[in-house]
């Protein structure tokens, strides 16, 4: 084996664990696309509940993927900002989106 397959597999499983669940990647993608406020993020992901979005954003803050900025004006403004670490995954998501579009063509439309 040219590379350490077991180490690589562990790193891959770490990543898969991190992106686990239905909503994590759509949320990262939304925030990396410039949506900052809770309502904006919610609207960009049809089907997500407020409760799920709230839970995910808290987890992502703990994992240093998202920074929560509170501006104490009236009314209070809360904005979510992706960290550099999150943005680096955002680029991978963009490639996954492009791959997904191509995959649809190959599988559904029978192109190759």
* Residues near a copy of itself, by CB under 8 A: 1-3, 5-6, 8-16, 18, 22, 25-26, 29-30, 33-34, 44-46, 63-64, 85, 88-89, 91-93, 95-104, 106-107, 112
CB of 3 to a copy of itself, least distance (A): 7
- Rounded to 10°, the helix 24-32/50-62 angle is 80
> Of 92, 85, 49, nearest to 66 (Cα)?
85
**How far, CA to CA in Å, does 59 sit from each of 41, 64, 72, 84?**
16, 9, 23, 17
Residue closer to a copy of itself by CB (options 74, 112) is: 112
CB of 112 to a copy of itself, least distance (A): 7
CB of 10 to a copy of itself, least distance (A): 8
Three-state secondary-structure class, residue 47? coil
Residue closer to a copy of itself by CB (options 37, 85) is: 85
Residue closer to a copy of itself by CB (options 51, 111) is: 111
Residue with structure tokens 């759509």? 26
């Amino acid at each position: 084996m040219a590379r350490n397959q077991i180490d690589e597999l562990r790193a891959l499983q770490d990543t898969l664990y991190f992106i686990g669940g239905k909503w994590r990647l759509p949320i990262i993608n939304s925030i990396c696309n410039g949506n900052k406020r809770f309502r904006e993020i919610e609207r960009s992901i049809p089907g997500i509940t407020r409760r799920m979005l709230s839970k995910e954003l808290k987890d992502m803050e703990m994992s240093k993927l998202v920074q929560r900025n509170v501006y104490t004006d009236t009314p209070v403004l809360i904005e979510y900002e992706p960290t550099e670490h999150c943005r680096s995954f955002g680029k991978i998501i963009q490639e996954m989106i492009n791959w997904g579009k191509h995959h649809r063509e190959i599988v559904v439309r029978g192109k190759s």
